Amino acid sequence: MAETLIKITVRGRADDRDRLQVVELDGVRIGLRFRWSALESLWYLWIHDVDGTTIAGPRALLPGLDLFLGAKHDPRVPPGQLFVFSPDRSAPTRETIDVSAIVFYRKV
């Protein structure tokens, strides 16, 4: 069976430092809050339920890590994997979050 990847476009403008969007993955609606840390030059992710309650976070947006790791036991979290892909394996910057680094959800 072929692997199913769902691309999640991080919406916002390049000058946004805080982006919140609601997505549905495997029938589960969750909020993804992306926040830029100027101090660390790094994006972080918080995972929220539809009521805005934090489920997990902050999680550094680094390529290759399952961003749902540690929250899999929570029924509000979809069963797949959420991860960042970057062709050069670098963390997304404030300018490249929409361009060179892509957030994907892998169905299981």
Every domain of the chain and the residues it spans: 5-106
Model pLDDT, residue 14: 62
- Residues contacting 58, CB < 8 A, separation 6+: 35, 44, 45, 46
Model pLDDT, residue 81: 94
Model pLDDT, residue 47: 96
The bridge status of strand 81-85 relative to strand 54-60 is unpaired
Model pLDDT, residue 79: 93
Distance CA 97, CA 26 (A): 24
Model pLDDT, residue 98: 64
Query: Please, is 36 exposed, middle or buried when counting C-beta atoms within 10 Å of its C-beta (0-12, 13-18, 19+)?
Result: buried
Q: Find out whether 72 and 66 touch, Cβ atoms under 8 Å.
A: no
Low-confidence ranges of the chain (pLDDT < 70): 1-2, 12-15, 97-101
| H or E element that contains 44 | strand 42-48
Distance CA 17, CA 5 (A): 26
Model pLDDT, residue 80: 94
